Amino acid sequence: MKIFLLSILVCLFTLGSCKTESKDSKVDEEILKAELQGSLKTMTGEFIYADSAAVFQTKNAIYGVVINEIAEELIANVRDMNPDPYASFEVTLKVKIENNTQEDAWPKVVKIQNIIKVEQSKDEQSLRLSK
């Protein structure tokens, strides 16, 4: 009987010490899973946000940006660096490239998964929208 009670106590302590996963660990697991599947890419390019639309330009292509929590974080970071709504920024991001389902828009969009680096664009010929 003592062994039975001891076994139950050990099981209860083991179950009690387990904690639920946090939101951040779930996001980290999703990013890790996507990286292992090869669907995430690290890309460097120019980012601009104006009039509730964001654009990401690399050397080879221009993408629309899906506005998610991480994109909103990036937008807040660039606004802190330069409040000009037409300023562009050099960024390095981990992204997932997808086909755009909207008509009359960029054919491909990126979903930002992680922000690696952000700095003010130094190029005068950078991607700029007319004021």
**Higher-scoring residue by pLDDT: 56, 13:** 56
pLDDT band with cut points at 50, 70 and 90 for residue 39: confident
Of the listed ranges 17-21, 77-81, 118-122, the least confidently predicted one is: 17-21
Domain of residue 56 covers 39-122
* pLDDT for residue 112 is more than 70: yes
* Contact status, residue 100 vs residue 107, Cβ threshold 8 Å: yes
- Domain contains 3: no
For the chain, what is the total number of helices (H) and then of strands (E)?
Answer: 3, 5
Work out the mean pLDDT of the chain and round it to a whole number. Answer: 78
- Domain contains 6: no
- Domain contains 9: no
Please tell me the predicted confidence (pLDDT) of residue 105: 86
CATH number, domain containing residue 110: 2.40.50
- Domain contains 2: no
Alpha-carbon span 26 to 28, nearest angstrom: 5
User: For the chain, what is the domain count?
Assistant: 1
- Domain contains 97: yes
pLDDT band with cut points at 50, 70 and 90 for residue 131: very low
- Supply the Cα-derived Rg of the chain in whole angstroms: 22
- Domain contains 58: yes
DSSP state of 107: S
Alpha-carbon span 94 to 68, nearest angstrom: 14
* Mean pLDDT within 5-30: 57
pLDDT band with cut points at 50, 70 and 90 for residue 130: very low
- Domain contains 30: no
Alpha-carbon span 92 to 78, nearest angstrom: 13
- Domain contains 13: no
Q: Is the pTM of this model over 0.75?
A: no
Label the pairing between strands 53-57 and 88-99: unpaired
